[in-house]
């Protein structure tokens, strides 16, 4: 089976490499020539554990190629996976569908008889039905009725993209076409044989599974962060609280880590796009709680800034602040809507001298916030600091030795924005340790 993957961002590059790993001939297409040049050398344009190795392996084996040519993609693929992004529109909650629409419009005239097109992008409910019509009218007239569409949302996490693609919790397929379902069962046969469940449903339900899953995850994080606010007000400890809740299997401990809240290219924009779409459908009341989920999440960032200000005696002027972490989460170089950079920028705006260090995301952070200062190591970022903020929970930061760091800083103050450092370890090395939702 020959597969094309349209759009080679986090999702597409990973999907292309993993499809090659499953044994298929794969052609990846992107409209950005620089990305295609990098991928063609078997290198990933972003940091994603395990992806470089997989790309290298299959580019060398010849099973995986990349192009910018739509006609080549149309002629090559029996199955076309559309993986273009759907970012939040500027100044609005709704997502921008223009990349997905452009991909369908560019591909349609080149489709061959019997092609199966599979959307993987996160889209507002109702999009697949609309895109099916759009695709049919853009495809060559004589074969338009032989082309099928399926929606197959993706649930991979950055940092675990390869693992999640090759070993997903479930596959979800929305389609009206038994042939498209059969083709996808064939594509995913190795996963199905390994016991991965596949839910086959209609377009709308498949689109909603994705929106609902991300909304649930965001809600869980904001729930525990709301509890952190109550803990702070009452002197309780949110980490112990979450640990005790987690013993209840109905609640579970995953996504119950309180701290600076969620960021990245998915959860924040997905809950907003979901609210916007529900509004269009006249069901906005059903999702008003997501507005609160979003507000609780954004409050974490201001609370972190406030806590830092308190620690520095009420103001940032003349104070040096070390920020550990720039990526929106560890094991990623993605800085989209990064809570860490948001806090760093707020403090800088209020007059603090901020120096940021991140193990992988420095280049991306510099591009987004050229006004911030950056240091090449955690130790250098911390040198002379009046307070150290731990904002992205890289393993490297958990491994820091507070006794070694102590002599470098101006004041031994650490604020743990992710609630993963060991308070005892830091306090016994003479540091003031503070965290969101924990007693001082």
Size of the site for ligand UGA (CB under 6 A): 22
The stretch among 61-69, 80-88, 251-259, 350-358 that binds ligand UGA (CB under 6 A) is 251-259
Decide if residue 344 touches ligand UGA (CB under 6 A). no
Q: From the candidates 18, 83, 95, 266, give the one annotated as an active-site residue.
A: 266
Smallest separation (angstroms) from ligand UGA to the CB of 374: 20
Smallest separation (angstroms) from ligand UGA to the CB of 122: 6
Binding to ligand UGA by CB under 6 A, coded x per residue (else -) over 195-214, reads -------------------x
Rounded CA-CA distance 352/157 in Å is 33
Closest residue by Cα to residue 80 from 161, 193, 200, 183: 183
Instruction: Count Cβ atoms below 10 Å from residue 75 Cβ, excluding itself.
Output: 14
Rounded CA-CA distance 166/237 in Å is 38
If the CB atoms of residues 155 and 289 are measured against ligand UGA, the closer one turns out to be 155
Q: Which residue has the tokens 């939040």?
A: 88
Phi, psi of 111 (to 5 degrees): -65, 145
Do residues 175 and 205 make contact, with C-beta atoms less than 8 angstroms apart? Answer: no
Decide if residue 257 touches ligand UGA (CB under 6 A). yes
CA atoms within 13 Å, Cβ hemisphere of 338: 29
Whether 266 sits among the annotated catalytic residues: the reply is yes
Q: Is 28 annotated as belonging to a binding site?
A: no
Site for ligand UGA in 92-131 (CB under 6 A): 122
If the CB atoms of residues 148 and 158 are measured against ligand UGA, the closer one turns out to be 158
Structure tokens at 39: 């991928």
Smallest separation (angstroms) from ligand UGA to the CB of 180: 22
Report the run of H or E that residue 231 belongs to, with start and end: helix 203-234
Q: Is 121 annotated as belonging to a binding site?
A: no
In sequence order, what are the beta bridge partners of 107?
none
Smallest separation (angstroms) from ligand UGA to the CB of 326: 12
Q: Is 86 annotated as belonging to a binding site?
A: yes
Residue 387's SS3 state is strand
Residue 305's SS3 state is helix
Q: What is the DSSP letter of 410?
A: S
Question: Given candidates 157, 291, 425, 427, which one binds ligand UGA under the rule CB under 6 A?
Answer: 157
Smallest separation (angstroms) from ligand UGA to the CB of 85: 10
Structure tokens at 65: 């190629």
Site for ligand UGA in 375-414 (CB under 6 A): none
Distances (CA, A) of 223 to 226, 294, 374: 5, 11, 33
Residues in the site for ligand UGA, rule: CB under 6 A?
122, 154-158, 214, 217, 221, 255-257, 259, 261-264, 266-267, 270, 328-329
Annotated binding site for NAD(+): 30, 35, 86, 122, 158, 269, 336
> What is the set of active-site residues?
266
């Amino acid at each position: 089976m020959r597969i094309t993957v349209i759009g080679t961002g986090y999702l597409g590059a990973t999907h292309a490499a993993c499809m090659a790993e499953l044994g298929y001939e794969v052609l990846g297409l992107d409209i950005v020539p620089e990305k295609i040049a990098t991928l063609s050398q078997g290198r990933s344009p972003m940091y994603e554990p395990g992806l470089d190795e997989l790309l290298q392996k299959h580019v060398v084996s010849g099973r995986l190629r990349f192009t910018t040519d739509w006609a080549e993609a149309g002629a090559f693929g029996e199955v076309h996976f559309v993986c273009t992004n759907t970012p939040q529109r500027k100044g609005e909650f709704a997502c921008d569908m223009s990349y997905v629409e452009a991909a369908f419009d560019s591909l349609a005239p080149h489709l061959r008889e019997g092609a199966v097109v599979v959307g993987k992008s996160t889209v507002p409910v109702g999009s697949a039905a609309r895109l099916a019509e759009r695709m049919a009218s853009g495809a060559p007239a004589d074969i338009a009725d032989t082309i099928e569409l399926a929606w197959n949302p993706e649930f991979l996490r950055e940092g675990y993209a390869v693992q999640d693609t090759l070993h997903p919790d479930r596959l979800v397929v929305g389609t009206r076409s038994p042939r498209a379902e059969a083709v996808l069962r064939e594509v995913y046969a190795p996963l199905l044989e390994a016991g991965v469940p596949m839910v086959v449903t209609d377009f709308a339900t498949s689109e909603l599974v994705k929106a609902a899953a991300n909304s649930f995850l965001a809600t869980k994080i904001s729930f525990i962060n709301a509890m952190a606010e109550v803990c702070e007000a009452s002197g309780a400890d949110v980490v112990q609280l979450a640990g005790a809740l987690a013993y209840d299997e109905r609640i579970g401990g995953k996504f119950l880590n309180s701290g600076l809240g969620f960021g990245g290219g998915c959860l924040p924009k997905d809950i907003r796009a979901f609210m916007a779409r529900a509004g269009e459908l006249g069901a906005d009341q059903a999702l008003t709680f997501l507005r609160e989920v979003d507000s609780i999440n954004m409050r974490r960032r201001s609370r972190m800034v406030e806590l830092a200000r308190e620690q520095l005696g009420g103001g940032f002027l003349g104070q040096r602040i070390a920020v550990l972490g720039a990526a929106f989460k560890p094991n990623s170089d993605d800085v989209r809507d990064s809570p860490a950079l948001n806090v760093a920028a707020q403090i800088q705006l209020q007059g603090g001298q901020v120096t940021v260090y991140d193990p992988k995301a420095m280049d991306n952070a510099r591009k987004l916030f050229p006004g911030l200062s950056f240091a090449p190591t955690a130790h250098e970022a911390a040198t002379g600091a009046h307070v150290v903020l731990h904002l992205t929970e890289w393993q490297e930061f958990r491994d820091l030795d507070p006794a070694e760091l102590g002599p470098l800083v101006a004041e031994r103050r650490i604020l743990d924005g992710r609630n993963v450092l060991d308070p005892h370890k830091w306090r016994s090395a003479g540091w003031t340790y503070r965290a969101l939702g924990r007693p001082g």
